[in-house]
Structure 1
Amino acid sequence: MKRVYVDEKWCLGCHLCEYYCAFANSGKSSMIKALKDRKINPRIQIEGDNHISFAVSCRHCTDPICVKSCIAGALSIQAGVVRIDRDKCVGCHTCVLVCPYGAIMPADEGVMQKCELCIENAGGKPACVQGCPNKAVIYEKRA
């Protein structure tokens, strides 16, 4: 299965992937309307310092502990992608606590959010990959 990876040697730490992610998941047709004068809430986070930057996002584990731990049954695996049913999520943060990658976070509405590889967004590739000017964010299958 394809996943999102970041090549740390090419990542500039510009955070554009975060903006593209937030826009793609905003439901708005204009990036300006979606992001201007608002705190963005991306599903990928760039961490690091001046020497190295790396992305924190869902690894879509083959045996995800977050899915097993969800008390509401809101997390599931669909075609290899760990998904959150926002209607079932009760906002208990159990998935946040058990995720070893820190990839699940609260959304503005109180439920949880995480990278779902933009499977509901058009384009064939996750928005963070499409928006990376340095091609540091990669969407590929690895062994």
Structure 2
Amino acid sequence: MEIYVDLERCIFCHACEVACEREHGESRISVEAVKDRASVPVSCHHCEVAPCAIVCPCGALFQEGTQVAFDAAKCTRCGLCLLACPFGAVEADPTSMVQKCDLCPEWDVPPCVLTCPTEALIFGDRDDGTKEMRRRTASRIARSYAAAVGRERA
């Protein structure tokens, strides 16, 4: 299971951050502005081959099925995982404790996804996520086409 982002729906409201912070005491997702053109929620992608887990010298980050798990008791706080994550999704809190999304295993759907007012976050397996993104994109294209045809006829 993964969290997918529909960038056209994200409105930079930070509701996902607030929901995550409410659940964990700190947010493990952050919404970043990209050149004032888009807002992008960033969280752990649970990579199939996870650079953060590969570089972790103490085994605190490790593959557990299809997810990247974290064992705080093993963490030496060396920071290599922060440097290795290509998405910048692994963070350290003020006490240097590593924080990353764990997909809230105690929930059927993570609170960040449930809280998003525009449904910009999609939770599902790779097939479900990509199907939903294709459906949404096709719907946007169809609406744009219908509007363009309507203007031509007017």
- Normalization by structure 2: what TM-score? 0.76
2:87 aligned residue: 101
Identity %: 37
Q: CA deviation at 1:51?
A: 3.1
| Structure 1 position 47 matched with structure 2 position 32 | yes
Q: Which amino acid aligns with 1:138?
A: I
Where does structure 1 lack aligned partners over 5 or more consecutive residues? 27-40
Q: Which residue of 2 aligns with 1:37?
A: none
Aligned to 2:114: 130
CA distance in 2, matches of 1:22, 1:61: 23
Report the counterpart of residue 13 of structure 1 in structure 2. 12
SS of 1:19's equivalent in the other structure is: helix
Q: C-alpha displacement at 1:108, in angstroms?
A: 4.0
Deviations 1:58-116 (A, max 9, x none): 11111111111001110111121101101111111100011111010002442201011
> Which of 48, 51, 60 lines up with 1:62 in the alignment?
48
Answer yes or no: is the 8 Å Cα contact 1:107–1:113 preserved in 2: yes
C-alpha separation in 2, matches of 1:95 and 1:104: 7
Task: Give the structure 2 partner of residue 92 of structure 1.
Answer: 78
Higher fraction of helix:
2
**CA distance, structure 2, for counterparts of residue 88 and residue 74 of structure 1:** 5
1:90–1:111 contact (8 Å) kept in structure 2: no
Higher relative contact order (CA 8 A, sep 6+): 1
> Is 1:142 aligned to residue 126 of structure 2?
yes
Q: TM-score under structure 1 normalisation?
A: 0.82
CA RMSD of aligned residues (A): 1.4
Count of residue pairs brought into register by the alignment = 126
Q: Deviations over 1:4-35 (max 9, x none)?
A: 11111111100010010111113xxxxxxxxx
Amino acid at match of 1:22: E
Moved over 3 A (4+): none
